Amino acid sequence: MTAPDDEVCLDDAVRIVAELMAVSARTAPKTMGTDILEIKIIKGKCKDKLAAEMRRLDREGRHNYERDSQAIEASPAVLLIGVKPHSGVGLNCAACGFDSCAAFNEASTSADFKGPNCMLRPLDRGIALGSAAKTASMH
């Protein structure tokens, strides 16, 4: 039996850790027990396309993404964690800027704008990111 190629081992290790990070994010606590996260692992051409788009935005002066696009290019994979379009959770906390979740829900149905966000949902994403980062630090 021959020893596995180092690059194959690294690819496998990165894939396994990225999958464990995704599981950590998915199983992190969520507001009202509702999961609205979008979690993707990208690599190869898809990852390179993300880096290229970030460089394009940077050249247009719309964002400062050059450094991050370089980090993405140098990485074998990227774990993306976002928040899907969602309704208010029904707590009427007004943290989103609307008086009630009903008013938030009405505003978020506009075809021209994907948002706003129930302020509890970015907190869910932050907890998920922390869980994923902890898993990464363990490996």
Residues 6+ apart with CB under 8 A from 127: 28, 29, 30
Round to whole Å and give the CA distance between 132 and 134: 5
Round to whole Å and give the CA distance between 1 and 125: 45
- 3-state SS string for 5-61: CHHHHHHHHHHHHHHHHHHHHHCCCCHHHCCCEEEEEECHHHHHHHHHHHHHHHHCC
**For 48-81, what is each residue's pLDDT tens digit?**
999 999 999 999 998 889 999 999 999 999 999 9
Q: Is the pTM of this model over 0.85?
A: no
44: left (phi over 0), alpha (psi -120 to 50) or beta: left
Could you tell me if 121 and 86 are in contact, meaning their C-beta atoms sit under 8 angstroms apart? yes
pLDDT for res 2? 55
The full length of the chain comes to 139
